[in-house]
Structure 1
Amino acid sequence: MATGRDYRGMTAEQRLADRRERLLTAAYTLFAGAGFTATTIERLCAAARISNRAFYECFTGREDLMRAVYDRCVQETLLTVAKAIGEAPPDPARRIQAGIREYITFVTRDARRARIMHLEVRRAGDILTGHRQRAVTDFTTIIEETLGDLPEDLPEWTHLLSLGMVGAIQELLIEWVLADVPPPLENLIETAVHIFRRSFGY
C-alpha cells in the first residue's frame, strides 16, 4: 500500500479521500442542477479539479458516484429525523409529527438535497432502484417503530400505512421541487401531518 507524500504533505490515502470528497461535492451541485443524465464525467472532473484517471481511482463510473451522493443525503436525513423524534415528547403521535416536520425542514433547507432525493433519484432509473427502495424501507421502519402498538383495527395495516405516509411526503416534496411557485413549507408540513392523522386515527 502506497504511503508516500505529495508536495502538499498528504499521504496517498489522504489524496484519494480528498479527491473522492471533491467529486462528491461537485456531483451534489451538478446532479441537482444540470441533472444526472446531463452531467458528464468530464464536467464532474472539471468541477472537482481532478483528472479523468483520478476519477476512476475513486468511483467505478458516474452511476457509482450518484449512488454515493444519494446514500449520503439519505443517511444525513435519517440521522436528523431520528434525533428529532428522540427529542420529542414520548407520545407517539407527537413524535411522528416532529419527525415529519424535521424531514421536510431538513430536506428543503438545501434545494440540492431535495432534488437529488426526490427527483434525480427517479431520473437516474434502474441504477438507483435498490438504493431508493432501501431508503423507503428505512423511513417506513422509523414510522412503524415510533408508533408502536396501534388501535386494534389497525395493526395489520401498520406497514402499508407507514409506506403510504413515506410516499405521500415524497410526492409533496416533488411538488415543492418542480412547482414554479413552491408551496410554503408550513403548508407541506400541515398537509403531511393531516394525512398522518387521518391514516392512523390520531
Structure 2
Amino acid sequence: MCGRDSFTACSEWQAARLSPNCSPAVGRAVSHDFSPARRGIRSSCTRAARLAVDARRPCSRAPFRSAPVHRHLALAAPGGPAAAAAVGETRPRSTQRVWKGESVAQRRADRRSRLLAAGTRLLGSGGGSAVTVRAVCREAGLTERYFYEAFTDRDELVVTVYDRVAAQTREVVARAVADEPGDLETRARATVQALVDFLAEDPHRARILVAEALVDPVLTREGIRVAPELFGLLVDEVLPARTADARDRTLLATSLAGGIGATILAWCAGELDIGRDRMVEHAVTLISTMVRGSATGEPS
C-alpha cells in the first residue's frame, strides 16, 4: 500500500471509528480491516474507502448481535469478569419470568393440576385402560411435553391420582371419627355417613378407591395398603386395646374395608336399589357386629 493511500485509509478508519452514526457492526468491521496490525496487509484502498463511506451513513437497522457486544463491553469494563458477573446477575432468571400475571412455577403447578384432574376423570369413568398419555393430554388440553414435565410415565400419574383420592377420603373419615365422641353405633354411623356422602359426591372416587385397586396391577399394592387404613381409624378408636392385638385390628379393618367398600361402590353405581339411610344402617350393623365379636374374643 502506497504512503498516501495508507495515510488516507488510516484517516478514514479513524473517522469511521469516531462517527456518532457508526453502528457496532460497522465499527467492528472497520477495526478489523484497518487496525494498525493489519495496515500493511491490505493492498486495496477501494474497500477502505467503501467501508469509510458506509460508516458515515445513518444506520436504520438495529446493531447486529447487540447482546454479545454488551457482554464484551462488560468484560472490558473496570472490574473485569467480576463486574460482568454482577451485570449478569441482574438479569431475571427463567423461573422468575411472569406471563399473564403468573410465574413459571405457578404455570407448571396449574398444568400438573389439569393433568391430575384429567387422569381422575378418565380413571374414574373408563378404568385403567382408558388412561394413556395421549388420552390424558387430550382431556387436559395439553401436549405430551407438559405431561412428561410433570410425570415420568403413565403409571406415576395413576398412582398419584389414587393417592390423592385416598388422602382426601382418609381426611374425611378421620374428621368424622374425631368429631363424634359417642358410643360405637353413633361413631360408626357418623363415619359411614361421611364416607358415603364424600364418595357419592363424585362417583369417580368410589371406582378409583375400590374397583380400580382390584383390577389395575399398578394400584393393587396401593389398595392393599390404603383400604384398611380408612376403617383402621375407626377400629383404633372403638376397639379396646386390651381385647385385641395388632393382627386382630388389621384383620377387622381389612374385612370392613372390603365389605363396606364394595357395598358403597355398588350403591354409587346404581346397582343397589336402596336408599342412602338403609345402606348406612346396614354398614353400621356390620361394623358393630364385627367390632363386638373382636372385642370379646381372645387375642390370637
Common topology (TM > 0.5): yes
Whether the 8 Å CA contact 2:173–2:195 is kept in 1: the answer is yes
Query: For 2:170, which of 68, 73, 78 is the aligned residue?
Result: 78
Q: CA deviation at 1:116?
A: 1.2
Instruction: List gaps (5 residues or longer) in structure 2.
Output: 1-92, 294-300
Q: CA deviation at 1:42?
A: 1.1
Q: Aligned pairs, how many?
A: 199
Corresponding position: 1:170 with 2:235: no
Query: For 1:33, which of 125, 132, 140 is the aligned residue?
Result: 125
Bigger-Rg structure (1/2): 2
User: Once the two structures are superposed, what CA deviation does each residue of 1:113-142 show, in whole Å capped at 9, x if it has no partner?
Assistant: 1111112232322x1122212212422430
Whether the 8 Å CA contact 2:173–2:230 is kept in 1: the answer is no
CA RMSD of aligned residues (A): 2.3
Aligned CA distance change for structure 1 residues 97 and 77 (closer, same or farther; 3 Å): same
Task: In structure 1, give the amino acid aligned to 2:215.
Answer: R
Instruction: List gaps (5 residues or longer) in structure 1.
Output: none
Task: In structure 1, give the amino acid aligned to 2:251.
Answer: L
Corresponding position: 1:141 with 2:238: no
Aligned CA distance change for structure 1 residues 180 and 136 (closer, same or farther; 3 Å): closer
Q: CA deviation at 1:6?
A: 5.2
Worse-superposed segment, 41-50 or 181-190: 181-190
Q: CA deviation at 1:20?
A: 0.5
Name the residue aligned to 1:130: 221
Q: CA deviation at 1:13?
A: 1.7
Worse-superposed segment, 57-66 or 88-97: 88-97
Residue identity (%): 29
The structure with higher relative contact order (CA 8 Å, sep 6+) is 1
Name the residue aligned to 2:198: 106
Name the residue aligned to 2:59: none
Corresponding position: 1:17 with 2:17: no
Task: In structure 2, give the amino acid aligned to 1:105.
Answer: D
Name the residue aligned to 1:56: 148
Q: In 2, distance between residues paired with 1:182 and 1:42?
A: 37
| TM-score, normalising length: structure 2 | 0.60
Aligned CA distance change for structure 1 residues 167 and 60 (closer, same or farther; 3 Å): same
Q: CA deviation at 1:8?
A: 2.3
User: Once the two structures are superposed, what CA deviation does each residue of 1:140-168 show, in whole Å capped at 9, x if it has no partner?
Assistant: 43023211417x7x525343223211211
Show structure 1 runs of 4+ deviating over 4 A. Answer: 177-182
Task: In structure 2, give the amino acid aligned to 1:59.
Answer: F
| TM-score, normalising length: structure 1 | 0.86
Whether the 8 Å CA contact 1:45–1:52 is kept in 2: the answer is yes
Q: Secondary structure at the match of 2:130?
A: coil
Task: In structure 2, give the amino acid aligned to 1:53.
Answer: R
Whether the 8 Å CA contact 1:169–1:192 is kept in 2: the answer is yes
Query: For 1:120, which of 189, 196, 212 is the aligned residue?
Result: 212
Whether the 8 Å CA contact 2:239–2:291 is kept in 1: the answer is no
